[in-house]
Structure 1
C-alpha cells in the first residue's frame, strides 16, 4: 500500500512540475510577444513595459509556489534525513526568490516612473 501511495505522490509531483513549467513557458512567450509587438508598433504601446514585467513577475511567483509544492510532495512519503535537508535548502532558496520578486514588483507598482519604458 505504501508503494502505491508513493507512486501516486511522485506522479502528482511531476504533474505539478509540468504545470509550473507550462506557467513559466506561457508567461514568457506572452511577455516576449507583447514586448516585440510594442517594439514593432513603436507608436503607442498597448501595454507599458512595466505592466508586462508585472504580469511576468506574477506568473514566475506562482510557478515558484507550484515548484515548492512539488518538492514537498516528493519528500512527503517516507523521507530520509538527506531528503529533508535538500527540501529545506530548496524551500529557503525558492521562498527567498519569491520574496525578493514580490518586493521588486511591489516597489515597481508603487513607483512606476523608476522603470524605463
Structure 2
C-alpha cells in the first residue's frame, strides 16, 4: 500500500519538475533567438563580446534546465529503477557535467578579457 502511494505521489512531482525544465529551456531559447535576431537586424552581430555573453547566459539556462531534468530522473530512478531510467540519469548527469565545465571555463575567459579590456596595464602583467 505504501509503495502504491509513493508511485501515485511521485508521478505528478516528476511531471511538474519536467515541466519546470521545459519552461526554463523553452523560455531561454525564445529569448536567445529573439536577441540574436535583434543583434543581426541592428548590425551588432559582429560584436564578439556581446555574442559571447548572450551564449553564456543561454548555456546557464540550459544547465539549469538540465539540473531540473536530472532531479526528475533521480526521483524516477529511485522509485522505479530500470536500466533505461538509470541510463537516462547517467546521460543527463554526463551532459550537465560537461556543460558546467565548459561554461565555467568560458566565464573565466570572459572575465579575464573584460579585465584586460578595462585595465590594459593590469591584464598585460598577469601571469
TM, length-normalised to structure 1: 0.79
* CA RMSD between the two structures: 2.1
Larger helix proportion, structure 1 or 2?
2
Q: 1:102 aligns with which of 100, 103, 106?
A: 100
Gapped regions of structure 1 (runs ≥ 5) = none
Gapped regions of structure 2 (runs ≥ 5) = 114-127
Structure 1 equivalent of residue 57 of structure 2:
55
Q: Runs ≥4 in structure 1, deviation > 3 angstroms? A: none
Q: Deviations over 1:74-94 (max 9, x none)?
A: 2333x35xx1x3333222211
Q: Deviations over 1:6-57 (max 9, x none)?
A: 1111111011001100100000001111111111111586x80111111111
Cα distance change, pair 66–50 in 1 and its aligned pair in 2 (3 A) = same
Distance 1:43 1:102 in 2: 28
Count of aligned residue pairs for this structure pair: 108
Cα distance change, pair 9–109 in 1 and its aligned pair in 2 (3 A) = same
How far the C-alpha of 1:102 sits from its partner, in A, is 1.4
Structure 2 equivalent of residue 88 of structure 1:
86
How far the C-alpha of 1:69 sits from its partner, in A, is 1.0
Pair member with larger Rg: 2
Cα distance change, pair 66–43 in 1 and its aligned pair in 2 (3 A) = closer
Higher relative CO (Cα under 8 Å, sequence separation at least 6) belongs to: 1
TM, length-normalised to structure 2: 0.74
